[in-house]
Amino acid sequence: MDKQTTLTQIEELGLVAVLRGPSPELTLAMVDALVAGGVRGIEITYTTPNAEEVVATLKRKYGASIVLGMGTLTEPEQVERAQAAGAQFLVSPHCDPMLGERMVASALPAMIGALTPTEVVQAHRLGADVVKLFPGSLGGPAYLQSLRGPFPHIRMMPTGGVSLSNVAQWFQAGAVAVGVGGELCPAAWAKEGRFDAITARAKEFVAAVAAAHRS
């Protein structure tokens, strides 16, 4: 799948589940529960134990039926390893030039993390396809809307601080998609075996994002 196709899919889905799984086994079960609820954008973070093996397993199991990426990249050498594992897009939590350049050079969609206006512009100039606004909870939708004023040409995806109650506001503020972690798939629920609850929450988020796209 080429870069533009993947980016288009992410924008059409509008929702990326950001998983910091407690174990490989529970992470795989969390993804199963999310997919059962209609979530097809999946980001496995490098803070997940054996993250690359988890991604390789998911790639074999789901193939093209999900859009699978790796996040929390903090070191340049993780780029090639993530790509080899089967990641279709890459996400960093911060704007580091060496890492960002390596992500862009991979030819995979690169989502470089930023918060301040200076960081947003730097990420864009490094070649980020989408700037990950992180942590989104610090400024909320109003902050994204303010950034969109001087930077309407920069595509941004907030992560952190996205909930069912404000997801529509994020899209109204100009988000191309949203990344959602604990609000969508709490690790505690996985540890408690509450996978039906994760599926139910996934359905709620999918419906909320769909409604936001229609409005």
125 alpha-carbon distance from chain centroid: 20
Answer yes or no: pTM beyond 0.95: yes
Tens-place pLDDT, residues 76-97: 999 999 999 999 999 999 999 9
Contact assessment for residue 104 and residue 126, using Cβ atoms and an 8 Å cutoff: yes
- State the virtual CA torsion across 15, 195, 60, 57 in degrees, nearest 10: 100
Q: What are phi and psi of 15, to 5 degrees?
A: -140, 125
Cβ within 8 Å of residue 170, ≥6 positions away: 136, 141, 144, 158, 162, 178, 212
Structure confidence at residue 214 as a pLDDT band (50, 70, 90): confident
Tens-place pLDDT, residues 117-126: 999 999 999 9
The per-residue pLDDT for 215 is: 79
Tens-place pLDDT, residues 126-182: 999 999 999 999 999 999 999 999 999 999 999 999 999 999 999 999 999 999 999
Residue 26 in this model has a pLDDT that exceeds 90: yes
Distance CA 41, CA 119 (A): 25
Contact assessment for residue 122 and residue 99, using Cβ atoms and an 8 Å cutoff: no
The per-residue pLDDT for 82 is: 98
- The CA R_g of the chain, rounded to the nearest whole Å, is 16
CA 85 to each of CA 53, 58, 150: distance values in angstroms, whole numbers, following the listed order = 7, 10, 37
Distance CA 92, CA 74 (A): 6
CB atoms within 10 A of CB 197: 15
Which class does domain 3-209 fall in?
Answer: alpha beta
Distance CA 28, CA 169 (A): 31
The per-residue pLDDT for 58 is: 98
Q: What positions carry a catalytic annotation?
A: 43, 132
Domain layout of the chain by residue ranges:
3-209
Contact assessment for residue 97 and residue 121, using Cβ atoms and an 8 Å cutoff: no
The per-residue pLDDT for 156 is: 98
Three-class SS state of 31: helix
Tens-place pLDDT, residues 98-117: 999 999 999 999 999 999 99
Three-class SS state of 128: coil
